[in-house]
Amino acid sequence: MIGFSPNLRSLQPEMMTTLNWKCKEFKELTINELYSMLQLRAAVFVLEQNCPYQDLDGNDQTSIHVTGTLGEELLCYARLLPPSVKYKTPSIGRVTTHQKIRNEGYGKLLMNKAIDYCQEHWPKEAITISAQKRLQKFYSEFGFVIETEPYLEDGIPHIQMLRKPSSV
């Protein structure tokens, strides 16, 4: 369920139903879903950001994958890593929206979905992210606070941020 976040007030009502949201373990993904996921990640993180890096890091198989599709087209994606895979806490990474819907509020909707799914799978756990420094304000809107000084990850300045667990 979404609704705990004040960020949703700024979204258009039709956005709540436009995309088909799914949360799947790696073994549940179809070949076409996996291909679309890797294609979107490469388009954004490698081509758009001009950052050649090894996207296939061995963590996809233990992760949960959040997708937002319109028909068969993947438009939003995030990867949820369980505790102790990358950090002590669960983490959200590979957060991306397709270029054609960027800056329309879908990134906020995606983050709300990712946080909801984290809370569903790992209740009462904090969530860690490695955020691009330029997106600090965006992630702070979701309750993430800076934990580290800036560092380079794949040649891009990043900061580690933490979101404390919601009190339930």
Task: Kindly report the CATH number assigned to the domain that includes residue 68.
Answer: 3.40.630.30
Q: Total structural domains in the chain?
A: 1
Most confident among 49-53, 76-80, 164-168 (mean pLDDT): 76-80
Does pLDDT of 2 surpass 80? no
Full-model pTM: 0.87
pLDDT in tens, 27-48: 999 999 999 999 999 999 888 8
Residue 15 pLDDT > 80, yes or no?
Answer: no
Residue 119: pLDDT band with limits 50, 70, 90 = very high
3-state secondary structure of 143: coil
* Contact indicator for 57, 101 with CB cutoff of 8 Å: no
Q: What local confidence, expressed as pLDDT, does residue 9 receive?
A: 37
Assess if residue 92 is contained within a domain. yes
pLDDT digits (tens, 9 = 90+) for 53-82: 888 899 999 999 999 999 999 999 999 999
Residue 4: inside a domain? no
In a domain, 88, yes or no: yes
Strand partners, 144: 163
156-163 and 64-70 beta bridge pairing: unpaired
